[in-house]
């Protein structure tokens, strides 16, 4: 019998850690970084290859099934309400934990340089919002810009259902077929996840080591504790009481996607796995998952929102700045906006920190403090991002009366 995919990924993850540590101890870390990591690059490229066609096919075929504008409006309202409420809950959890544990107060930390390419790399929020409407949808697809691609696909799918006969049927069949092909192609790539995960993790450990974590231990504990609270308490409670969904069954259904999010630190790269796990393991229809998940992978980032808040207040604590209630409120609000604006790629949340520091007048050098541990925290917050998208999809599917769900309590 073949081992289940999530076990394969978990074993690959552990082997990757061991191999990376061995590489550092025995001095062959360059071999891992330069040669072994190529397997990780191949895997990430293959995942990125399917993202745009998968999103387009899935959204168009999903939206044609939604039917009326009224259904569409109701689904959008539920989805955006879920995104905003859970992101705010995550931020507030972060706020409570960092204020209770206050790891930054009195900490003496050496400042590190901020890498030049991260400075000034932040897009203005207004530009991000305007950019949702593509001036040329094909260019957005070619450039891999997710939000404008989603926007155009949603409209296109919706108007297929408004097109006259026989074109509406023909186009619906065409995109349904396109989607079936993309799903099979995605499954094929997913088979190689353990290999990709092994190489990526081995490279991270070989190039960072574990010793950088020690001086920032308190800060990491605060982030991890708050993330765990959100992932293991808040979201499961919502799943159970609002969705009528079993958190344990959901966790089992999504484990391969969560482990992949952990290893790749990218919600976007994980999206193909999230979608296939949601549909095949959790039994959610393509109609719901193709609407909630691609949007969620780009704008619903609970883990990132929580992290932004904790990191900003940690930096304030280290610099001895006492943030007033009003300033903490600004942190909450900007953390929410930053998480919406962050792309689903590694370290996007770190780059967005600049917005919050600027908003409350904290020094940009503060970023240098937390940079060395960002990668490992990124892995955790990305898993929470994907977990929240998945929980939202299940809750919304249940509320829409889906009967094929395999995760009901």
Least separation in angstroms between CB 180 and ligand ASP: 27
- Asked if 178 contacts 61 with a C-beta cutoff of 8 angstroms, the reply is yes
CB of 204 to ligand ASP, least distance (A): 13
Per DSSP, the three-state class of 245 is strand
Does 346 contact ligand ASP by CB under 6 A? yes
Binding mask 362-391 for ligand ASP (x = CB under 6 A): ----------------x--xx--x------
**How many residues would you count in the chain?**
409
User: Considering the rule CB under 6 A, would residue 122 count as an interface residue with ligand ASP?
Assistant: no
In sequence order, what are the residues at sequence separation of 6 or more whose Cβ sits closer than 8 angstroms to the Cβ of residue 370?
216, 219, 311, 314, 315, 350, 353
List beta partners, residue 408: 245
Binding span for ligand ASP by CB under 6 A among 17-25, 178-186, 219-227, 345-353: 345-353
Burial of 106 (0-12, 13-18, 19+ CB in 10 A): exposed
Task: Let me know if 109 is exposed, middle or buried by CB neighbors in 10 A (0-12, 13-18, 19+).
Answer: middle
Site track for ligand ASP across 242-271, x = CB under 6 A: -----------------------xxx----
Is the CB of 281 or the CB of 298 nearer to ligand ASP? 298
Contact map string, positions 273 to 312, toward ligand ASP, x by CB under 6 A: ----------------------------x--x--------
CB of 392 to ligand ASP, least distance (A): 14
| Closer by beta carbon to ligand ASP, 321 or else 347 | 347
* 245 bridge partner residues: 408
Residue 27's φ and ψ, nearest 5 degrees, are: 80, 20
Residue whose CB is nearest to ligand ASP in the complex, by number: 349
Q: For residues 148 and 62, what is the distance between their CA atoms, to the nearest angstrom? A: 17
79: enclosing H helix or E strand: helix 69-101
Binding residues vs ligand ASP (CB under 6 A): 265-267, 301, 304, 342, 344-349, 378, 381-382, 385
């Amino acid at each position: 019998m073949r081992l289940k995919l999530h076990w394969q990924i978990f074993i690959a993850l552990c082997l990757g850690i061991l191999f990376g540590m061995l590489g550092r101890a025995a001095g062959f870390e360059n071999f891992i970084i330069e040669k072994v990591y190529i397997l990780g690059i191949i895997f990430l490229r293959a995942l990125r290859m399917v993202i745009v066609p998968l999103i387009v096919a899935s959204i168009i075929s999903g939206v044609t099934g939604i039917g009326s504008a009224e259904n569409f409006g109701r689904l959008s309202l539920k989805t955006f309400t879920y995104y905003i409420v859970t992101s705010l809950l995550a931020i507030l959890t972060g706020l409570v934990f960092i204020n209770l544990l206050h790891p930054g107060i009195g900490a003496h930390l050496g400042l590190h340089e901020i890498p030049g390419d991260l400075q000034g790399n932040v897009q203005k929020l207004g530009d991000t919002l305007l950019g949702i409407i593509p001036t040329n949808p094909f260019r957005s697809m070619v450039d891999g810009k997710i939000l404008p691609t989603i926007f155009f696909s949603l409209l296109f799918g919706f108007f297929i259902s408004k097109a006259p006969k026989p074109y509406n049927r023909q186009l619906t069949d065409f995109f349904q077929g396109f989607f079936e092909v993309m799903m099979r192609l995605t499954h094929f790539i997913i088979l190689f996840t353990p290999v990709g995960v092994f190489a990526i993790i081995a490279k991270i450990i070989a190039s960072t080591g574990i010793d950088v974590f020690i001086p920032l231990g308190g800060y990491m504990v605060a982030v991890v504790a708050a993330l765990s609270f959100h992932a293991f308490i808040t979201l499961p409670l919502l799943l159970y009481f609002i969705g009528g969904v079993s958190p344990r069954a959901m966790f089992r259904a999504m484990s391969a996607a969560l482990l992949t999010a952990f290893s790749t630190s990218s919600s976007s790269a994980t999206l193909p796995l999230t979608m296939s796990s949601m549909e095949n393991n959790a039994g959610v229809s393509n109609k719901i998952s193709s609407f909630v998940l691609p949007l969620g992978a780009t704008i619903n980032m609970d883990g990132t929102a929580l992290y932004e808040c904790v990191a900003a207040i940690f930096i304030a604590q280290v610099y001895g700045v006492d943030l007033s209630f009003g300033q903490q409120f600004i942190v909450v609000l900007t953390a929410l906006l930053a998480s919406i604006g962050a792309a689903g790629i590694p370290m996007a949340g770190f780059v967005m920190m600049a917005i919050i520091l600027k908003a409350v007048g904290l020094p940009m050098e503060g970023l240098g403090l937390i940079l060395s541990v960002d990668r490992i925290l990124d892995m955790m917050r990305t898993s929470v991002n994907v977990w929240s998208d998945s929980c939202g999809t299940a809750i919304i599917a249940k509320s829409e009366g889906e009967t094929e769900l395999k995760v009901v309590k």
